[in-house]
């Protein structure tokens, strides 16, 4: 149903990914948004511009929006949602763990997800009802059934109050899983759950544009997304647990011991 949109999205995200990769050694201006923990580069803006303008030309009836658009989004009826560089901090430090994450929402549901990881030559993508793929090959969840054999992944929140809440949870899970990683790109973290590298990705303090493409992909392979308080995930959620259902109950049994409050959208 969305084949034209998926193929255009794949084409332009890969072009933008190549440019981002080439420019990583010569980024230019790095500006603080709210402070040194929250920065934006000319590459974030340039990538967003290129992708959204291309989509606007081909699909003029669609709404297009990106993290750097500078205004809120409320209409998810036929809407492209872009995170032009997910993992900007890694990107400016020369690390390969960053991605371009593009989702297309139809009637409030993310139905296309594209996550490009140019450093590794990996493009993850999905269309609702057609499965999820990594470079044309179908991907699957892992078969690990035991939390103690699970590789969990997270993103550290920037905000002091969220750190205070989540650090004891990290400590608790470190003792009950195989290991815990923070890779610095929420989109990649969820794509890695969808392809079986991680059993779960969870984070306190993310937005829909960080995770929408990953949500589409993960649901396609039978994965689940919820808020950290186990309630359903939606566009206004500010936390996410993206997981392999085989360990879902075990992980929530541990998370629920902490009664972690869902952050208020700001
Ligand atoms: P960004 O690089 O696009 O800003 C890092 O923990 C991951 O979480 C990145 O994907 C980062 O996206 C995202 N993120 C978004 N908001 C965040 C926040 N308030 N604190 C920490 N990470 C955040
Ligand atoms: Ca950002
Ligand atoms: Ca992001
Ligand atoms: Ca970003």
* Residue whose CA lies nearest to ligand 1 atom number 14: 206
Question: By percentage, how much of the chain surpasses pLDDT 70?
Answer: 99
Closest Cα to atom 21 of ligand 1: 157
Residues annotated within a binding site for Mg(2+):
67, 83, 85-86, 210
pLDDT above 90 coverage of the chain, percent:
98
pLDDT average, residue stretch 168-174: 98
Give me the mean pLDDT over the 139-160 stretch. 97
- Closest ligand 1 atom to residue 88 Cα is 2
Kindly report whether the global pTM for this prediction surpasses the value 0.95.
yes
Give CA angle at 213 (100, 18), nearest 5°: 20
**pLDDT given for residue 1 in this prediction:** 87
Condensed to tens digits (0 to 9), the pLDDT of residues 218-240 reads: 999 999 999 999 999 999 999 99
261: confidence class by pLDDT, cuts 50, 70, 90: very high
Integer Cα distance of 134 and 140 in angstroms:
10
ipTM value, please give it: 0.96
pLDDT, residue 210, reads 98
Q: Residues with Cβ within 6 A of ligand 1? A: 83, 86-88, 155-158, 184-186, 205-206, 210
Would the pLDDT of 266 be above 90? Answer: no
Q: Quick one: pLDDT band at residue 264, thresholds 50, 70, 90? A: confident
For position 112, what pLDDT does the model report? 98
Centre of ligand 3 to C-alpha 101, Å, is 8
Mean pLDDT value of segment 93-122: 98
Q: How many angstroms is it from 86 CA to the middle of ligand 1?
A: 7
Judged against a pLDDT cut of 90, whether residue 48 lies above it is answered with yes
Mutation probe of ligand 1 site: the residue of 41, 43, 81, 87 with most atoms within 8 A of C-beta = 87
* Ion ligand 4 residue ranges (Cβ < 5 Å): 67, 83, 85
Averaged pLDDT, 51-64: 98
- Ligand 1 atom nearest 209 alpha carbon: 3
pLDDT of residue 265 exceeding 90, the answer is no
The domains located in the chain, with CATH, are: 3-138 (3.30.540.10), 147-258 (3.40.190.80)
């Amino acid at each position: 149903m969305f084949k034209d949109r998926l193929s255009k999205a794949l084409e332009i995200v890969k072009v933008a990914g190549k440019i981002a990769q080439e420019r990583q050694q010569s980024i230019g201006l790095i500006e603080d948004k709210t402070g040194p923990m929250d920065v934006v580069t000319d590459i974030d803006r340039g990538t967003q511009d290129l992708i959204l303008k291309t989509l606007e030309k081909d699909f003029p009836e669609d709404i297009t929006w990106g993290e750097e658009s500078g205004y809120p989004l409320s209409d998810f009826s036929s809407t492209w949602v872009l995170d032009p560089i997910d993992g900007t901090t890694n990107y400016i430090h020369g690390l390969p763990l960053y991605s371009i994450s593009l989702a297309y929402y139809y009637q409030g549901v993310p139905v296309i997800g594209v996550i490009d990881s140019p450093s590794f030559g990996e493009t993850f993508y999905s269309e609702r009802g057609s499965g999820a793929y990594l470079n044309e090959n179908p991907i699957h969840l892992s078969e690990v059934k035991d939390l103690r054999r699970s590789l969990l992944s997270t993103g550290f929140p920037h905000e002091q109050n969220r750190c205070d809440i989540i650090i004891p949870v990290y400590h608790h899970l470190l003792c009950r899983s195989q290991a815990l990683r923070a890779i610095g790109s929420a989109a990649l973290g969820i794509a890695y759950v969808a392809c079986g590298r991680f059993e779960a990705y969870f984070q306190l303090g993310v937005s829909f544009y960080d995770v929408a493409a990953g949500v589409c992909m993960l649901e396609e392979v039978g994965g689940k997304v919820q808020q950290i308080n186990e309630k359903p995930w939606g566009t206004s959620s500010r936390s996410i647990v993206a997981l392999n259902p085989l360990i879902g109950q075990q992980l929530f049994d541990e998370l629920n011991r902490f009664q972690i409050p869902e952050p208020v959208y700001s």
